[in-house]
Amino acid sequence: MYQKNILDNGIRVVSEEVPFANSIALGVWVRTGSRNEDETNQGVSHFLEHLLFKGTTRRTARQIAEELEAVGGIINAFTTKEYTCFYTRVLAEHLDLAIDVLSDMLFNSLLAVEDIEKEKKVILEEIKMYEDSPDELVHDLFAQTIWPGHPLGRAILGTYETVTNLNRDIIYRYYQEQYNSANIVLAAAGKFNTAELVAKLQATFGLKTCPGKQGEYLPPKSRPRVSINIKDTEQVQICLGVPGLPQDDAAIYALQALNNILGGGLSSRLFQIIREEQALAYSVYSYHAGFSDSGLFTVYAGTSPDNYLQVIALILEEIASLKNKGVTAQELKRTKDQIRGNLLLAQENVNHRMSRLGKTELTFGRVITAEEVIERLNEVTEDDVQAIARRIFQPEYLSLTTLGPEVEPLDLAECARRAGI
């Protein structure tokens, strides 16, 4: 069972004791990401994540890395569109060190000008590396296609130009505004005593005043269209999809089941037909990215230019089948069992437990347990899956992005109607 406490400065703590574990996973979750940026500071969330590792008033960058690694621990971070997370995992006996390092990074980072200029070079190389990975880049291009001009349509890393133009004033102002008590959740899972953990967190994280401000999100307005992007590659990278659901939509569990059946694994319809039966692609899958007020459902495939139209036709045919024929009782049972198994297996890892605590508290204001997810998923019926397919898969909602050799343009809505969508 998890517990929730609030420190004196308003920072929330969600924790779960796992007596059989030998380690502790501790994460600092901040409700700020690329969605909080504008055209002038794009990439600042990710840049700030890097900078908090570059030295504090008490530690150099090398000491931050070495102190935890010296005791067999790990420390890392990541930035998404709506949140940033800094996390550690250490043996239970090194909890004090993990708390001290994370709180030092969060509150005492220098954000030095020389570190900013040096880290720009690193992040610009990261952008180049990303642009050299077309199977990853196409997903950003797809979000940009369907949500042009909106923060959710922008790349988390920023652009070469916006990162180059970032300076300490911009970064420090963003830090002061976004890293505030209302935006911060501390999550912990592993071997500890909750009362002792909260007391330690109060003595470090709880003593700082973090006023800042909470910004309001403007929902994106989708603009379905086809975007053909030319790049000198052997394969055509394809993203085809529609606007999805917000994370708190009542139909989110039906959509989770639909996604798993359509393209969520090796036994999914798309994988079996496009890869196993037709041998048209090595990689093909679907996913749903949910945000606080919107979502994006995407099917991805990488194929040769000669197979491009056939792959799109097969994807549309399977989507049409879900809309018009639904799913079988056997398919739905199998996907429920698969998702349940994945969730329960993940519970054996304290990192996964910590992540679920932090992310759901930050997103929903409450913890959503694996048991609750399984219970809600078990309530999904075949009719529910078909209903969500009919709701989101409309010809006028579809968008397509390709990246690679030039391909034949198409009328996507017309292709969808011919497929029976």
Catalytic-role residue among 16, 37, 39, 49: 49
Query: For residue 275, what is the DSSP state?
Result: I
Q: How far apart are CA 201 and CA 255, in angstroms?
A: 38
Would residue 49 show up in a list of annotated catalytic residues for this protein? Answer: yes
H-run or E-run covering 371: helix 370-378
Closest by CA to 281, choosing from 252, 310, 256, 301, is 301
Taking residue 304's Cβ as centre, other Cβ atoms within 10 Å add up to: 14
Question: Contact 382/388 with Cβ under 8 angstroms?
Answer: no
Q: How far apart are CA 32 and CA 272, in angstroms?
A: 39
Q: How far apart are CA 166 and CA 163, in angstroms?
A: 5
Q: How far apart are CA 289 and CA 239, in angstroms?
A: 13
Paired tokens of 259: 């996604």
The pairing of strands 12-17 and 184-190 is: parallel
H-run or E-run covering 301: strand 295-303
∠ CA 51-215-105, rounded to 5°:
25
Q: How far apart are CA 353 and CA 92, in angstroms?
A: 16
For 58-98, give the DSSP string: S-BHHHHHHHHHTTT-EEEEEE-SS-EEEEEEEEGGGHHHH
Residues in a beta bridge with 77 = 86
Query: For residue 55, what is the DSSP state?
Result: B
Catalytic residue list: 49
